[in-house]
Structure 1
Amino acid sequence: MSDREQPAAHLDLDDLDRKLIAALQIDGRTPFSTLATDLGVSASSVRYRVQRLQDSGLFQIVGIANPLNIGFDRLALIGIRCEPGTGPQVCEALVELAETSYVVLTSGGFDVMVEVVCRDIDHYTDLMFNTLQRVPGVVSTESFFVLQAHKLAYGWGVGNIA
């Protein structure tokens, strides 16, 4: 696991935590004072709660760009089959690659699914043949090129801010 993705500590989320997460998933730049007013709590409570969520590894605030709109020509999902028992180690190796934005251990037809973002076809080809397929444990890969990204969203099930 990389330094940027620490395992989340278990926190019991209450209604305020869920509302803060929901609001910040909509706009991560919302001022704490605005959140405090909207939620009927003090700004110091908001600041403390958000810091606690971030420190636990449960929550982070990031900017999300559509790579196809900022000069990256190749976005692909890659299904990977691994030697038996090597899936977790393959994931650990793939997390370290700058081109990976999503790495998950899965069940079904693939052991690992990866999202990669590359500048162009040459960059993608180099990544596939000189890096990804040489990771110990990788047996085979199957690529799915993204032609258009219709939704890039990261707001999951914490409820509405209302």
Structure 2
Amino acid sequence: MNSKLDEIDRKLIAILQKDGRRSFKDISEETGIPASSVRYRVQRLEETGTLQIVGVANPLRIGFDRLAMIGLKCEMGKARDVCEALSKLPETSYVVLTTGPYDVMVEVVCRDVAHYTELLHDRLPKQDGIVGAETFFVLEAYKLAYGWGVGDDPPVSGSPS
């Protein structure tokens, strides 16, 4: 569900993207918005699926040795079903419906080559609708970020606000 964001929502999201552990009181003091309003708005953003506050770790630094992007070709009309199914796998961190040479792009995080091989050769082929795959190993991660500047950048001229 997409909810319309106002400037206060955007400001709260921007603050929490920088530090998701900030207290409502601290945010209130920074913004001048009452803490009860901050709490209500953050809860609403979470309930609508607009905001999720999580701790993000670099998988390469916590024992996961294999990150990969996988481009998938799907049977006509099956790409959305493939996205839904792959979204439920614990190894997937990013699943998107795309245009271009691949119908679906998936980022997976695996413990090691054996884990990745099992996923790629045993489980992915069993997913209904996948007809082909091309894989791309991540050798080094230079940026793993989840902040998109919702409060910092003005809208581009001509774009919806």
TM-score using structure 1 length: 0.91
**Number of paired residues?**
153
Q: Which residue of 2 aligns with 1:16?
A: 8
Query: Aligned-pair distance for 1:157?
Result: 3.7
Q: Residues 133 and 141 of structure 1 are in contact (CA less than 8 Å); yes or no, is this contact kept in structure 2?
A: no
Secondary structure of the equivalent of 1:144?
strand
1:37 and 1:136 map into 2 onto residues whose CA distance is: 52
Query: Aligned-pair distance for 1:15?
Result: 1.1
Q: Which runs of 5+ in 2 are unaligned?
A: 154-161
Query: Aligned-pair distance for 1:71?
Result: 0.2
Secondary structure of the equivalent of 1:19?
helix
1:39 and 1:150 map into 2 onto residues whose CA distance is: 32
Q: Which runs of 5+ in 1 are unaligned?
A: 1-7
Q: Does structure 1 residue 93 correspond to structure 2 residue 78?
A: no
Q: Which residue of 2 aligns with 1:118?
A: 110
Q: Which residue of 2 aligns with 1:143?
A: 135
Runs of 4+ in 1 over 6 A off after TM superposition: none
1:60 and 1:155 map into 2 onto residues whose CA distance is: 12
Q: Deviations over 1:52-104 (max 9, x none)?
A: 11111111101111100000000000000011111011111111111111111
Report the identity percentage. 61
Q: Which residue of 2 aligns with 1:106?
A: 98
1:52 and 1:159 map into 2 onto residues whose CA distance is: 18
Q: Deviations over 1:108-161 (max 9, x none)?
A: 000000000000000000000110122111111111000111111111241239
2:74 and 2:59 map into 1 onto residues whose CA distance is: 28
TM-score using structure 2 length: 0.92
